[in-house]
Structure 1
Amino acid sequence: MKKIVSLLSLLLFFTVALKAQTTISIPDTNVTANTVVLLPVNSGSLEVYSLTMHISYDTSVLQYQAIQNNPFESVGVYTANIDSTNGVIAIAWFSTTKVTITDKLFDLQFLYKGGTSTVGFTGTNELTDINSTPFNITFVDGSVSIVTDVEDIGSKIPDSYELNQNYPNPFNPSTTINFALKVSSQVSINIYNSLGQRVTNLVNGSFSAGFKSVQFNASNLASGLYFYRIIATGVDGSKFIQAKKMILMK
């Protein structure tokens, strides 16, 4: 009998632990300058009784406007302190009544002024359940950067994926990156510095099959070695990942 009780307790523990695991993330977003952008703070399905969250952003790139679609402000005790000088949004909330989340916590509304900004989690971030037990959460930062025009080169359809060497190379401050998609694909091209840190998301979107061209402007970056990497996921399930080096010489 004791063994049965122990097994049931163990099963209950793992079931609760499994339910408590989730990811909260802010997606990478590309927008045009001087426009309003809504950034969703995405999550899994949760029943939340308290929340503490700190989100940072670059005030030279983003101007805070509001928190939209917020289910917490009408239940329990809710506070939101906005530090527009240092770019920190601090949210605290608790309630004896649960708030049920299906896919996102809320939306952050900013005026995008141009440039690139990480919008990320900083300091203490915690959500708890009815027993005041913190959920096991992985927090994933996002970024906001300007829309980059991707141009079609001709009308031919390539037989395979390609990522060409940028030209000119070395360059100052702009260079061209050409790539090819054998089928319609979801494409992301990120730029990294020599330490492996991402400095910008150059391309993020869905594109038809064909030969493509995109311009990269590095006027806000220091001279040095950089890498650009493409991840293309085709509608047929195919996937292409490749990276190349380039040199910015000012």
Structure 2
Amino acid sequence: MISGSIQNSNEIYNNTNYGVQNTSSGVTINARHNWWGDPSGPYHPVTNPNGLGNSVSDYVDYSDFDTPAISIEPEIVDFGSVRLNNTSVDSFMVRNTGTAYLNIYQITSENPEFSISEQTASIPPSDSSIFYVTFNPTEMGIRTTKLFIVHDASSSPDSLIATGVGIAPVFSMSKTGINFGDLGISFTQVDSIYIKNTGTYQLSVDSIYSTDDQFTFYPNTLSIAVGDSQKLYLVFQPTSLGIKSGKIIFLHDGISKNDSLEVSGNGITDVQAEDLMPKEFTLYQNYPNPFNPSTMFRYDLPIQSSVTLRIYNALGQLVFTLLDGAEQAGYKVVEWNASSLARAVCTSTVLKRRA
């Protein structure tokens, strides 16, 4: 090297003796901003005894040697709410604020619900790289992890936080079983349960079916908001004598995926059933009210009767006649779907018995 020269930029490493040697006390070689084989800089027994790079002699100015430095943005990656077993992708940026290449060797997560797609990089000075994080919650509630970044800057390892909330609907029933008791053949008995969503996301019951046609239900599907509940009507109509049993199966998008309700009853002769019939005519409040868009009407008939069930609007005008004919005695339920009527708002129902 020529005496008095300036060594602006170089990569000096694996030299057997010195990275730069200058034994002339009258001249100092300017070798700043060079890479010496290690971020700690060149070894000098007095001025840089902890340097792990190649050695320099007394008359070499090596201060401000090139080193990488790391900056991470943001410090917290927040995914917000994500449904269980679904994925969401977010990112963070690693910037090299130093003067030498920044090498990312590894990025690891404490929680397997958070994963990193790319775990290594070599970032030039004043440049940056984007790293993508995938959140796949497997449990409800707040989920969090530390992401550790191993690199060749002096602060290694660095870390940041990733967090998110696992959400899901949860199916719950007010009863686990219904026993309708004794009921005459061809008569009907009505009971009900409440289906509640105790989770943190809207519950959809897409399909309901019965293992025995003598047990039916209304409505056929349910959509229940968080913390809300809806009533499901169960109807038993035996077609033969003897003990009956079955299950009402619910297929839904909650955590348990499907649930069932045990139902049972006993079919008896009409003579035996006379004491089990309603004692008076009764029309119950429709449910749900207002419509959603369907609603259920329950009524009791102590004897065989002609029944008319009419729907009126707010002006008192007849909108729809739901029933108009003979009905057997018993406990009755009928569903009305108002989706086809633009102004079908029920304000009153009239149960009329025709002698």
TM-score (norm: length of structure 2): 0.22
Higher relative contact order (CA 8 A, sep 6+): 1
Higher fraction of strand = 1
Q: Which has the higher helix share?
A: 1
- Greater Cα radius of gyration, structure 1 or 2: 2
